[in-house]
Structure 1
């Protein structure tokens, strides 16, 4: 293989200056977006329409809430201990109350009260039925075009009882409105529909179980259908537990917010308020039970205290009658007051410990605090007793008796007062929680947020469209620059041919087989594509100085790369230098060079090879000045065998002697084997690639096949470069593998 001429290398490398890698990347990405702008716009539009449709047709979701206040609470003995009672108070934190609200005890009672395990609703027209129903004020005519029982109006149903066997739980039953308040209940597993009346309990069944149905209200025209589902109570309770949102408003505020979302705002409000009512009710019942328990304890203690009081009074009176009035000095009075106070506190602490011992172990912090307090009281009382022993005997006896009277009297009065208060608590139904704000029917849905939904759909459409565009570019993008071919494939690029808008018009005339001459080099000799071919012409003159023959083969990897355009215009430009040039259309499958010159196909190359026509008669003389043309002739059924005919080799040798240059346009290498048989007869083989169409793998495979056939390509012509692209002349494309595929080809613009 001849080495590339220095001018040839200069032309290949002088097309553009490479830009910085990062800058190129950004410009390349921008070009991908611009190239696929209509695809991205279409995907975005579809996504936006889907978003609008969803926003309009989706079932609205409402949210309501209620507020509950949990107040500080203590046992009934809290008032006994005054300021010390704060150490003994066992306050229930909001987190514990939240779990109580969420418990099956509360939620289950709310489910039972609202019959939430019965799901009954109209059978709406699919997709659009609910949208119309939300805006309807009257009943609709059942069915679509009279078919089916779907509705789209203000139909409603209320089912008071719907007990089904366990095997039917979760199944959909169909209720159809009849005449005069009647209805039918259907299920695929029922032997026949059951008929009932609104407001009347319907019972039926067999060995599998009993059905109990009571429809309290049914609004719909005859034929309108509803769906009723008897759900598992446990599953409904668990689902409601999961759906409830509970949180404390502020740290240690004691204000609990309970919120819930549902598509039925009336049911939503009813369920929430029922949960609040059940929670307040259980709190009152719990407090009443605690009060009763403490009251029972006090009722058992009061008679003993009263008896102790009477005994202490009798003893004190007997002592006074015997000794007379004993005057206590100031120190004795102080000791008496302190002793009474400490004894009262000691007894109250002991009683509190008895109450807490029933709830907690001895290691509980509250029990330990009480034990420490009792020990402290005992120590102080022991100190007072030692001071009492220092008093005169008469004063000691008088002080002891008076202390017993006052202590027993104070304790008795306190216990009696507390007993009265506990009776009020028990009878007054007062707890330590209250409902601050009841749930109200929400006016606006919280979902879907229509504006946000549409904007999100548009954003997803843009992102999705861009991702598809980049995926297409990564998987199917063709070669974009000469540098890409040379750097990644190691092939020499002889010329880059810009895309010509004028050639598009010329190609259209060729495609429609209009008469006349359709050659860009003659119609617009100063077009940028023609100028690039002139540079190629100059490069070829130097390249072929040492060539073994004067024959040039023009081919491509696949159809549609513009090889016929290159062949016609290059041959025209070569002829314009005064050389005698023969252009041969050797694409015996789909060749159409004759259309560029407004000539018929018949009587050409194939006819000469089979001997039906002489070469001199087959050649069209001077189709343009200095250029002769040999068309394909009649398209043969066996083109691959025809090019192997010795007559074809003889033809090439003969024409090579008659002309200064013979330029042959052949079939694409990957589409047909013809070119591989022709290539060894040519000293110059030009491989045409189309920018952004020809894949690197295709070009690599074409080159490999030509080399295996005995003739490496002289160089590559990169056709249809889009000079409007910002990355023009730069390269950054990862080498891809060749993919075998079937080809069909026809006329191609440059």
Structure 2
């Protein structure tokens, strides 16, 4: 028995589907999904239009202040005013100050924004209970901080204060008030810092003056009590000490009387004590004098600092000046209709692209022959175009017309191409036994089997159709024959019985039909017995083409029992409907049951749409795609 099987199909294994990127791949994806993209962009435009109806128009006002080139600050250590170049850190700090809650609180209080319905949403609210004043004011601060921005203009010291408000006059007033409040606050805070430093210096001067007075009193008492103002007294005591020391030395050498020695010793001890006390008092005086001099110098320095600050406090300048005064704008700045519509269009396009890419990524349906080979390892041997007809009741006439009356229709060309491909791959000269099956129901296998039979008959072949789809008998119904009551066991065991059950379909040429009873069991070894093989051999000798229509592989088991009956099996996949998983599982089931699989036929192909996915249909199916515009109309 000849087997038409690709080596890649024998090694079939369901693989993960890679994601393909490239210009032509993306172009084809966008081309075949242009309707979804257009719909998404229209939805984006509609959403943008609805947003424009909801967004409240706002006017924009701008005031500009320029920070001073020199930064003035108080040195907390020296309590002096220092000037330095304005740094980037200082600029960023001032921007943060302008955006702070405390600064916004000052401006809101000055303008009484709690009575503005835009800033205070509770004024127009109908809910009860109404929040208290503090809660309302906090809501005002939140809305106010959202209504203005502070931006630095390049690398300069200019700061732009931009305000948006539904009222043009209020927008300009708020912008100017922000600038004015900042300038006045900076000067006021700077003066407060200087006044605080002056007050601190005054307190330190008073404290140090009291300490100086106390030290002077202690020094005067020390001098008075120890007669330190008499500078000669110390010299006299030292001279007396020297004289008594000499007397004591002479008395010891000459063995003087003990009385005189004792007197001299007492006098010496007294002089030493007085000299020691005077020396200690002089040291204390020197220490007190040094402390007094240091405190006096410190006192004079503090006085000088206080005098300098008191002189400079009236000459302090604010940290900024306003160079641009905001005026009431004439037209609203937001919403920008063109920008919002463009954003809606771009957003719709992005959403559409995301939807299309996800749709393509998760679309596991079979669309191309390249897809079946690349992802499933199954060769595609034919492409059968879609048949269009006006009314469903014309179906019988349709098939007769497509397969008999119009030999050059796209459908007929596809059938002849498929028959030629299959017959050329047969390695023997006798008849061809071909089984047709699919993964699931309603994929067009019965229709294709019937069409192949009529097409082969038109070429002069003797054709036998065997309807093994015993559950639906679609082939029998399509041929217009009655369903017999005999089982496969009864018919297949006797050649005479088979000849009696074969029904000619003269309307379609040399086409004959063999059918069995409905919903019966086909024995597993029915076609593999010696008698069954002999009968099959006789049928091969009688007919040129034998077509077997079987139930779907994943729905019933008949297709897996054809290894001994058919030369090969073709697997039908409905274009754009059969999933890769179903097709791959069906092929795997046939392979495990040693059923020779010739390949896959894509059925019901819309060739115009197929060209948006793959340009390789001509490789197997011929050039019939160009004439796919034909639409059948029933004869009048």
Task: With the length of structure 1 as denominator, give the TM-score of the two structures.
Answer: 0.53
1:643 aligns with 2:530: no
Distance 1:710 1:44, change over 3 A: same
Provide the rounded CA distance (Å) in 2 between the counterparts of 1:587 and 1:679.
16
Distance 1:291 1:715, change over 3 A: closer
Provide the rounded CA distance (Å) in 2 between the counterparts of 1:645 and 1:89.
105
Give CA deviations for 1:595-653 in whole Å, capped at 9, x if unaligned.
655x2x6x2255665989997367243232211235687xx5xx3x4334999999997
Aligned to 1:59: 56
Aligned to 1:272: 175
1:565 aligns with 2:447: yes
Residue 354 of structure 1 and its aligned partner are, at CA, apart by: 6.3
Distance 1:568 1:656, change over 3 A: farther
- Answer whether contact 1:549 1:683 (CA < 8 A) is retained: no
Q: How does 1:142-221 map to 2 (within 5 A)?
A: 186-187=128-129
- Answer whether contact 2:527 2:564 (CA < 8 A) is retained: no
Give CA deviations for 1:248-299 in whole Å, capped at 9, x if unaligned.
446455x43222345565554444333233223334535666897999999x
Give the one of 596, 606, 612 matched to 1:712: 596
Residue 243 of structure 1 and its aligned partner are, at CA, apart by: 6.2
Q: How does 1:521-600 map to 2 (within 5 A)?
A: 521-544=403-426, 546=428, 551-593=433-475, 596-597=478-479, 599=480
- Answer whether contact 1:478 1:694 (CA < 8 A) is retained: yes
Aligned to 1:624: 508
SS of alignment partner, residue 57 of structure 2: coil
1:112 aligns with 2:54: no
Provide the rounded CA distance (Å) in 1 between the counterparts of 2:499 and 2:526.
11
Give the one of 378, 382, 385 matched to 1:496: 382
Distance 1:249 1:290, change over 3 A: same
Residue 455 of structure 1 and its aligned partner are, at CA, apart by: 1.5
SS of alignment partner, residue 175 of structure 2: helix
Provide the rounded CA distance (Å) in 2 between the counterparts of 1:483 and 1:432.
74
Aligned to 2:559: 675
Q: 1 or 2 for the larger relative contact order (CA 8 Å, sep ≥6)?
A: 2
Distance 1:672 1:119, change over 3 A: farther
Give the one of 531, 536, 547 matched to 1:663: 547
Distance 1:516 1:74, change over 3 A: closer
Provide the rounded CA distance (Å) in 2 between the counterparts of 1:670 and 1:431.
87
Distance 1:261 1:351, change over 3 A: farther
Distance 1:355 1:499, change over 3 A: farther
Residue 100 of structure 1 and its aligned partner are, at CA, apart by: 4.6
Give the one of 451, 458, 466 matched to 2:345: 458
Give CA deviations for 1:575-602 in whole Å, capped at 9, x if unaligned.
23433322233334445445655x2x6x
Unaligned stretches of 5+ residues in structure 2:
10-19, 74-80, 203-297, 492-496, 619-636
- Answer whether contact 1:496 1:721 (CA < 8 A) is retained: no
- Answer whether contact 1:548 1:683 (CA < 8 A) is retained: no
Q: How does 1:42-57 map to 2 (within 5 A)?
A: 42-57=39-54
Distance 1:282 1:672, change over 3 A: same
Distance 1:61 1:723, change over 3 A: same
Provide the rounded CA distance (Å) in 2 between the counterparts of 1:73 and 1:621.
108
SS of alignment partner, residue 556 of structure 2: coil
Aligned to 2:29: 32
Q: Looking at secondary structure, tell me which structure has more helix per residue.
A: 2
Provide the rounded CA distance (Å) in 2 between the counterparts of 1:690 and 1:352.
106
Q: How does 1:73-472 map to 2 (within 5 A)?
A: 89-90=83-84, 95=91, 97-116=94-113, 120=117, 186-187=128-129, 230-231=135-136, 233=138, 237=141, 240=144, 244-249=148-153, 251-253=155-157, 255-262=158-165, 267-286=170-189, 433-472=320-359
Distance 1:458 1:246, change over 3 A: closer
Distance 1:50 1:291, change over 3 A: closer
SS of alignment partner, residue 504 of structure 1: coil
SS of alignment partner, residue 506 of structure 2: strand
Distance 1:281 1:532, change over 3 A: closer
Provide the rounded CA distance (Å) in 1 between the counterparts of 2:305 and 2:617.
87
Residue 48 of structure 1 and its aligned partner are, at CA, apart by: 1.5
Question: What's the C-alpha RMSD, in Å, of the aligned pairs?
Answer: 5.1
Provide the rounded CA distance (Å) in 2 between the counterparts of 1:569 and 1:632.
20
Residue 688 of structure 1 and its aligned partner are, at CA, apart by: 1.9
Consecutive aligned runs of 4 or more in structure 1 exceeding 6 Å deviation: 72-76, 290-298, 350-358, 418-423, 610-615, 645-653
Provide the rounded CA distance (Å) in 1 between the counterparts of 2:64 and 2:198.
32
- Answer whether contact 2:568 2:596 (CA < 8 A) is retained: no
SS of alignment partner, residue 597 of structure 2: coil
Provide the rounded CA distance (Å) in 2 between the counterparts of 1:684 and 1:616.
27
Aligned to 1:738: none
SS of alignment partner, residue 388 of structure 2: helix
Give CA deviations for 1:347-374 in whole Å, capped at 9, x if unaligned.
xxx999969968xxxxxxxxxxxxxxxx
Aligned to 2:634: none
Q: How does 1:480-519 map to 2 (within 5 A)?
A: 480-482=367-369, 484-486=371-373, 488-493=375-380, 495-499=381-385, 503-505=387-389, 518-519=400-401
Provide the rounded CA distance (Å) in 2 between the counterparts of 1:355 and 1:104.
39
Unaligned stretches of 5+ residues in structure 1:
13-22, 77-86, 122-157, 160-169, 177-184, 191-210, 214-228, 299-349, 359-414, 732-750
Which of structures 1 and 2 has the bigger CA Rg? 2
Residue 525 of structure 1 and its aligned partner are, at CA, apart by: 1.1
Provide the rounded CA distance (Å) in 2 between the counterparts of 1:642 and 1:631.
14
SS of alignment partner, residue 47 of structure 2: helix
Residue 524 of structure 1 and its aligned partner are, at CA, apart by: 1.5
Distance 1:693 1:550, change over 3 A: same
SS of alignment partner, residue 469 of structure 2: coil
- Answer whether contact 1:588 1:632 (CA < 8 A) is retained: yes
Residue 554 of structure 1 and its aligned partner are, at CA, apart by: 0.8
Residue 420 of structure 1 and its aligned partner are, at CA, apart by: 10
Aligned to 1:208: none
Distance 1:354 1:71, change over 3 A: farther
Provide the rounded CA distance (Å) in 1 between the counterparts of 2:150 and 2:575.
63
Give CA deviations for 1:86-117 in whole Å, capped at 9, x if unaligned.
x9745666625545544555322112233446
Aligned to 2:362: 475
Provide the rounded CA distance (Å) in 2 between the counterparts of 1:92 and 1:678.
93
Residue 39 of structure 1 and its aligned partner are, at CA, apart by: 1.9
Distance 1:101 1:460, change over 3 A: closer
- Answer whether contact 2:98 2:182 (CA < 8 A) is retained: yes
Distance 1:279 1:37, change over 3 A: closer
Residue 441 of structure 1 and its aligned partner are, at CA, apart by: 3.6
SS of alignment partner, residue 453 of structure 2: helix
Distance 1:120 1:462, change over 3 A: same
